[in-house]
Amino acid sequence: MAKVKINKHSVSDTPAHKSDVRIKISLFSTVKGLCLLLFLISLAVYGNTLLNGFAVDDLAMIEKNTIVHKGVAGIPELMVTPRLAGFDRNIVNENYRPLSLVMFAVEYQFFGLNPFTGHLFNILFFGGCVVLLFLFLVRLFPGRQGVWFIACLLFAVHPIHTEVVANIKSRDELMSFFFGFSALLVFMGYQQQCKPWKLLAGALLLMLAILSKETVISFVIIVPILFYAYLNEHKRRSHMIVAATLIVAAAFLIIRQTVLKGHDTTAVPFLDNPLAGAAIFTQRIPTALLVLGMYLKLMVVPWPLISDYSYNTIPTVGFGNLWVWCSVAIYFIAGITMVYRFWKKPKDPLAFGILFYLANLALFSNLFFLVYSEMAERLAFFASAGFCVVAAILLFQLFPAAEHLQGQKPIPAKLWWLVLPVALVFFMLTINRNGDWKDDTVLISADLKNAPCNARLWHSSGSVKVLNEPPPAAAGDTANRPVTRAGIADLQRSLAIYPDDYKTHLDMGNYYRSIGQYDSAEYHIKQTLRILPNLPVAESDLGFVYFSEQKYSEALALARTAYLQDTQNPTIMFNMGMIFTQMNELDSARVWMLRTTQLQPDNKMAADYLNLLQNALQKAMKKADSTSKK
């Protein structure tokens, strides 16, 4: 073989050559550079959400949450109360997720009721989630940066994440992911360096993750496998990490049980999850298996996307349904593949990707226990990370040589021809879907096109229309209330799909009252009480119907009954104040309006009435004084 002589001086060491080297060593070829690129892509794909307002559950978490509106002063209360205590203290099926509410309170303290800052923080958290996922994969499986960059690129642009990022309320999911992967990275540092503070820091970060949302409870399964099968160089350190994870999970469950005592039941509302009313073996299990297939379908083809999958978006099916067996076949193959590769190839990344997908989706599968949603895109946020890992590995297997490429081209050009069109389509779908989340009106209108049988969406559509229309010039003035009439038509469509939704009946009763149709109002509110007897807000609203009919004694009796059952409801207090005002008992009216404003400081109508009552009482006192002097 001929020897090739290399001249050490043949390459000029001039400034021009150094500049050429700098060009070749691109910023985005390093781990830090790739992290920056992924972060910028994340900001770009969700940048248009900054133009959006509040939508859907933002009402309960931010807009109308009285504890959040206390700002920093409300933080201690948020830490020891159920999630929706600041919106409605009578909700039975509750959760304990205080950390996102704490952040909303801090934002309210400094920025007020501002959706722009809410969306901005969501985008920043999402960018952080993408970067942390990349750093985790690079540290877990070093030397394959190209694979993990593609995985995180797909994760960053995937449209199934729009509900999590575009809906401010879903900060809980983002924070859970962010702190969860931060904990994993710190635990990995402890595994390598055995510094006790890293173990404690990892446990603290994991507690922050689980206080954000319970989704990260899946780490009770994932962490032992991760530190016994993949990062098992130091067994004792692995034992400590697993023990810390279990202690954190147990501590959270104890705290949660204490806070939710009396608020947490096993009853899942049928409207939220129709599987609650399905026969377990003939309907619930096959429908749940079908839903698992629907999740996988959205991972591959993320369209159409819907903000609400409650009754009757997904019809109940049996084992005779072909798509049920297709779903079973796919998940069975995935499970067998995972087990086989764990057995044959220790520390196999494909097996870990499948595990992460299955472990996180299993929490919401409705196979082992019922959750409060039959299906929701936000519930697939964690699982989608595992899917993107699997997808990236399979894409690279189309180009076997790509896994061995080093240096400046870890991703071959041929693979980019496949990845870039997919990423671009996902990017455009996400941008478009972000626009749907502008507000409730736009979102509901878009989703009803894809879910015309959804009772809750029709209910929401009707409610939004009625609430957005100015008050009538006079009671009974229906001619100038076309939006209200359209809203009531939507509510009637909701009841046609699900006749026993007490919330829809209650809203219809109040809207009929607003246009002066008191007979219809009374009928629907009484239907609410038929479905849910002794509901305080329904009794109060029925009293308000009587109030509108000038039946003040009947109205006052119902309002008092409602108050005895719910002494912290500002709506009931406001109704009491209005009734006493009309009965010309101004002292009592002032007391109830004052209580209303104390619970709802931003209730302008109650504040206005309180001022009027105080002025009226002062004038009455002055008049009485002048009369006595005479």
Cβ contacts of 575 within 8 Å, gap of 6 or more: 540, 541, 543, 544, 547, 555, 559, 562
Question: What is the CA angle 437-442-448, rounded to 5?
Answer: 100
- Size of the chain, expressed as the number of residues it contains: 630
In angstroms, the CA 230 to CA 226 distance is 5
Q: Number of H helices and number of E strands within the chain?
A: 27, 0
168 burial (CB, 10 Å; 0-12 / 13-18 / 19+) is buried
Integer Cα distance of 197 and 445 in angstroms? 51
Q: pLDDT digit string (tens) for 184-217?
A: 999 999 999 999 999 999 999 999 999 999 999 9
Predicted pLDDT of residue 628: 66
Domain 454-533 has CATH 1.25.40.10: yes
233 DSSP 8-state letter: S
Ranges of the chain whose pLDDT falls below 50 = 1-25, 402-409, 479
Q: Cβ(388)–Cβ(396) under 8 Å?
A: no
Structure tokens that stand for 135 in this block: 């750093």
Separation between Cα atoms, residue 213 and residue 125, nearest integer Å? 15
Integer Cα distance of 23 and 32 in angstroms: 17
The pLDDT of residue 30: 87
Q: Are 154 and 422 in contact (CB under 8 A)?
A: yes
pLDDT of residue 261: 84
What is the pLDDT, as a whole number, of residue 623?
76
Count of other CB atoms within 10 angstroms of residue 572: 29
Q: Mind listing the pLDDT tens digit for each residue in 65-123?
A: 999 999 999 999 999 999 999 988 767 667 899 999 999 999 999 999 999 999 999 99
CATH topology (fold) of 549-630: 1.25.40
* Whole-number pLDDT of residue 24: 39
In sequence order, which ranges of 310-371 are alpha helices (DSSP H)? 322-344, 349-362
**The pLDDT of residue 603:** 87
Look up tokens 């934002």; give the residue: 107
Tokens of 22: 């700098």
Name the amino acid, one letter, at 512.
Y
Sequence ranges of the domains in the chain:
44-406+431-436, 454-533, 549-630
Distances (CA, A) of 243 to 181, 210, 238, 302, 351: 18, 16, 8, 38, 24
**Helix 145-157 vs helix 381-397: angle between axes, to the nearest 10 degrees?**
130
pLDDT per residue as tens digits for the range 574-629:
988 999 998 889 999 999 999 999 888 888 889 999 999 989 888 888 777 776 66
Contact 175, 209 (CB under 8 A): yes
